[in-house]
């Protein structure tokens, strides 16, 4: 940056040294216009018009989308007109109401599962995501469905007579017992499905059972479990199997419990 320091100072018109002959200033400074000044033109009317428009739209926007300036309303759509009905509490009251397991499950589903299986539960044939709506796994006994959700599934699988296999389902056991139970309950009752509810305790029991299972299941693992086998461990499985449950609380209702997976359930009780 100080390369020009080394150049001889006597070159024409470039003396910047603070010596006596400093008046021999560089041409750039001689020819310079004077320092900027400021005029005093008044505001024009149309500019005031723009100000008014900006203030109007800014204010209108603030009023329309401010959610009544409530700390609870995350949704800007809670407009004053609505806010009288379900309104200002629309954001605030709902969380206080107890949600049903299926409603909670719907939230879990939308956040985690709907990306592949779609909100409609129909999955995507082209991308290899099997449907849940009307699926025999979802509708059958809760055990198969729970195994898939807990540990995931890979390899080819046939659902509703169609082959799937290009996609891999990841394990969801990290969601926790409650959420897995809720989402299973939701899936088994939504889209015209008719499976029974699943409880947190059942999932907890299944989790212990599957603890030593290394990776995802494949179709053969599922087929080793009877299609209608329900989960054990809860106070209640699906509605039909009550008699079996009375006989042996830990076992699925019909017939003997076929523990296809390592770490069988009967030893537990």
The contact set with other proteins (CB under 8 A) reads 1-4, 6-7, 11-18, 22-23, 25-44, 47, 50-51, 53-55, 57-59, 61-62, 65-76, 78, 118, 127
Question: In this complex, which beta carbon is closest to other proteins, that of residue 107 or of residue 248?
Answer: 107
The CB-of-204 to other proteins minimum distance in angstroms stands at: 29
Q: What minimum distance in Å lies between the beta carbon of 88 and other proteins? A: 12
Which one, 42 or 214, has the nearer CB to other proteins?
42
Alpha-carbon distances of 249 from 87, 141, 195, 237, rounded to whole Å: 47, 16, 20, 10
We find the least distance from the C-beta atom of residue 165 to other proteins, in angstroms, to be 17
- Taking the least distance from each CB to other proteins, the nearer of 51 and 224 is 51
3-state secondary structure of 217: strand
Token pair, residue 189, equals 């009752």
The token pair at 222 is: 């599922």
The residue (of 108 and 203) whose beta carbon lies closer to other proteins is 108
Helix (H, G, I), strand (E, B) or coil at 269: coil
SS3 state at 164: strand
When the beta carbons of 124 and 178 are compared against other proteins, the nearer one is: 124
Smallest gap from Cβ 1 to other proteins, in A, equals 4
- 266: part of which helix (H) or strand (E)? none
Taking alpha carbons only, the member of 173, 175, 176 closest to residue 210 is: 173
Quote the CA–CA distance of 247 and 144 in Å, as a whole number.
22
Shortest approach of other proteins to residue 3 CB, angstroms?
A: 4
DSSP 3-state of 157: strand
């Amino acid at each position: 940056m100080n390369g020009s320091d080394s150049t001889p100072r006597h070159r024409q018109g470039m003396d910047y040294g603070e010596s006596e002959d400093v008046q021999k200033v560089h041409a750039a400074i001689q020819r310079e216009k004077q320092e900027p000044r400021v005029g005093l033109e008044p505001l024009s009317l149309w500019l005031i018009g723009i100000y008014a428009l900006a203030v109007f739209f800014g204010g209108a926007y603030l009023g329309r989308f401010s959610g009544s300036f409530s700390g609870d309303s995350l949704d800007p759509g809670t407009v004053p007109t609505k806010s009288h009905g379900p309104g200002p509490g629309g954001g605030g009251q709902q969380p206080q109401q107890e949600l049903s397991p299926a409603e909670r499950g719907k939230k879990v589903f939308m956040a985690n599962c709907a990306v592949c299986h779609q909100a409609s539960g129909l999955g995507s044939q082209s991308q290899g995501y099997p449907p849940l709506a009307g699926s025999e796994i979802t509708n059958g006994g809760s055990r198969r469905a729970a195994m898939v959700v807990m540990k995931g599934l890979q390899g080819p699988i046939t659902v509703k007579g169609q082959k799937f296999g290009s996609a891999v389902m990841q394990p969801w056991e990290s969601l926790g017992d409650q959420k897995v139970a809720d989402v299973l309950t939701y899936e088994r009752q939504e889209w015209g499905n008719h499976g029974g509810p699943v409880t947190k305790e059942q999932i907890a029991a299944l989790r212990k059972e599957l603890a030593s299972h290394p990776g995802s299941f494949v179709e053969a693992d599922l087929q080793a479990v009877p299609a209608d086998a329900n989960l054990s461990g809860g106070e209640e499985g699906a509605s039909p199997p009550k008699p079996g449950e009375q006989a042996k609380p830990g076992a699925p209702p019909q017939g003997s419990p076929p523990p296809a997976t390592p770490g069988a359930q009967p030893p537990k009780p």
